[in-house]
Structure 1
Amino acid sequence: MTTTVSNKPSAPRVLAVLVAVITVFGALLADFVIPASAAQHLRNDAWPPHAKFHDAQYISMSILLGAVALTLLLRRGGGSRSRVWTACAILATPWLGLLAAMLFPGTAVHDPEFADIRIIGLHPQVLLALILLALLAVAVALRARQRN
């Protein structure tokens, strides 16, 4: 018996694609392109070259992981349970890494020369990571409930 996998958009797939697009473009825009936030990252003259290297590494990694996830999700059969789950695991990687980085000694989510902006008590990057991880968890849970 063969199983056919629909290529039509499903809620889990749409959620994962949304997170993938944000993952592809988010760090690049925030850390390099948008002047106000880039001044706190790659365009921060106070940062040593090695710190800028690691931010560029994170930007590149996010683009690559998002692109791999998009490839899994947008190809024929991208709505299959295994593809959605794999894409969600891949997409969770940079966002879990962002949260885990706060656990290392001497790290901070913002440099002291910049205002410590908070939204509902959280730094915007942390809030975004939690929202995107929640969307991925919803996508996985919804996909688990579907038959195919």
Structure 2
Amino acid sequence: MTDQRTETATAPRLLAVLVAIVTMFGALLADFVIPATADQHMRNDAWPPHAKFHDAQYIVMSFLLGGVALALLAARGGGGRSRLWTACAVLAAPWLGMLGAILFPRTAIQDPEFDNPTIARLHPQLLLALILLTLLLVAVLLPARAIRRR
């Protein structure tokens, strides 16, 4: 027989682990490895070295934040719910940062020479950010809902 507390504790952690893995490897793959998207970022000859520096900084930062979140999620002992919340907050930082970056003057989600398809009228990066932030919100709300049901 399955313990309901174990199920609700596992589902949020699995959602957060999924987001952590995407956070760790997403920017590296998209901005540096996958040719179609790397050509728009680190392999874009039109980008000055300082712009590439900041993209590389984002890649490393995302990897580190995902790693910190995974360490929090893998830890055992007391404070599991607070570790989950902390991990979700850490994971939300780069995705909220992406959404906040478009509010700055003279920024754009893509360079004008590239034509990326949209999905539901959103640039794929923005859609991914919204999906991952939604998963983190669900991960945080699931344990609270289970506690209220008891």
Corresponding residue for residue 92 of structure 1: 92
TM-score, normalised on structure 2?
0.89
Cα shift at 1:38: 0.2
Corresponding residue for residue 127 of structure 1: 127
Cα shift at 1:76: 1.9
Check conservation: 1:40, 1:114, Cα contact below 8 A. yes
Matched, 1:15 2:15: yes
Check conservation: 2:9, 2:143, Cα contact below 8 A. no
Q: In 1, distance between residues paired with 2:25 and 2:79? A: 22
TM-score, normalised on structure 1?
0.91
Cα shift at 1:9: 6.3
Corresponding residue for residue 35 of structure 2: 35
Aligned residue identity for 2:139: A
Corresponding residue for residue 52 of structure 1: 52
Cα shift at 1:78: 8.5
Q: Percent identity?
A: 71
Q: In 1, distance between residues paired with 2:119 and 2:107? A: 20
| Greater alpha carbon shift after TM alignment, 15-24 vs 68-77 | 68-77
Check conservation: 2:17, 2:70, Cα contact below 8 A. yes
> Which consecutive residues of structure 1, in runs of 5 or more, have no partner in the other structure?
none
Cα shift at 1:143: 2.0
Secondary structure at the aligned position of 1:10 is classed as helix
Check conservation: 2:24, 2:62, Cα contact below 8 A. yes
Check conservation: 1:24, 1:63, Cα contact below 8 A. yes
Q: In 1, distance between residues paired with 2:81 and 2:139? A: 10
1:82-103 deviations in Å (ceiling 9; x for gaps): 0100000000000000000000
Cα shift at 1:144: 1.8
- RMSD after superposition: 1.8
Q: In 2, distance between residues paired with 1:10 and 1:105? A: 42
Aligned residues between the structures: 142
Corresponding residue for residue 26 of structure 1: 26
Cα shift at 1:75: 2.2
Structure having the higher helix fraction is 2
Q: In 1, distance between residues paired with 2:116 and 2:57? A: 24
> Which consecutive residues of structure 2, in runs of 5 or more, have no partner in the other structure?
none
